[in-house]
């Protein structure tokens, strides 16, 4: 579903995939981008292929469409990227912008990981494996981000917010990242 090569433009956009701008972004306090944070998300929970994630990240989630939506429709969150189960890449924010994906977080003594990270959501859950197409797109995207920015580490959301987050979860296989893209 994704081209064999992804690159990131100087403006912070992937050269392939779909762009759906989220209003839930703001200006980074500096231009430093040194961390990639991997998440998982599915809306409704453990259901795939619908528009719930897109609606959440664009503030259009209908609270009456699903009981879980009534609990979360007020949230103002986003991520830079979403990788669907089939490997399709969707971008919600320029990498130059601060997307609201990490929340209260800490990485190697630094708080507010949104300030210096790129967030990548994988359509999935903590309860089942991710698809080969997702790892393929993820590896291409990580390579592109490494080429564009001085990335120093890749972490899971659970690594930067361990008391409140579990994603990307036990079924995310870190060994499926290319050897050059090691978890640090």
- Which residues are annotated as catalytic? 121
DSSP three-state, residue 53: helix
What burial class does residue 159 get, using C-beta atoms within 10 Å of its C-beta: 0-12 exposed, 13-18 middle, 19+ buried?
buried
Question: Which tokens in the block code for residue 60?
Answer: 């259009």
Distances (CA, A) of 38 to 69, 73, 76, 90, 174: 23, 22, 19, 15, 10
> CB of 77 within 8 A of CB of 101?
yes
> CB of 37 within 8 A of CB of 113?
yes
């Amino acid at each position: 579903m994704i081209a064999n090569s992804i690159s990131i433009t100087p403006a912070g956009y992937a050269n392939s995939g779909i762009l759906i701008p989220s209003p839930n972004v703001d200006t980074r306090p500096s231009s430093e981008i040194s961390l990639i944070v991997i998440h998982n998300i599915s809306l409704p929970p453990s259901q795939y292929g619908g528009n719930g994630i897109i609606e959440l990240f664009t503030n259009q989630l209908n609270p009456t469409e699903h009981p879980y939506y009534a609990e979360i429709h007020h949230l103002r969150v986003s991520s830079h990227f979403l990788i669907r189960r089939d490997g399709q890449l969707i971008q919600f924010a320029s990498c130059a912008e601060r997307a609201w994906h990490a929340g209260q977080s800490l990485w190697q003594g630094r708080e507010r990981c949104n300030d210096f990270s790129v967030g990548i959501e994988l359509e999935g859950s903590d309860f089942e494996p991710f698809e080969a197409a997702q790892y393929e797109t993820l590896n291409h995207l990580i390579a592109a981000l490494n080429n564009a920015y001085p990335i120093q580490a890749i972490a899971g959301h659970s690594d930067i917010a361990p008391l409140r987050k579990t994603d990307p979860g036990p079924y995310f296989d870190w060994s499926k990242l290319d050897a050059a893209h090691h978890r640090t």
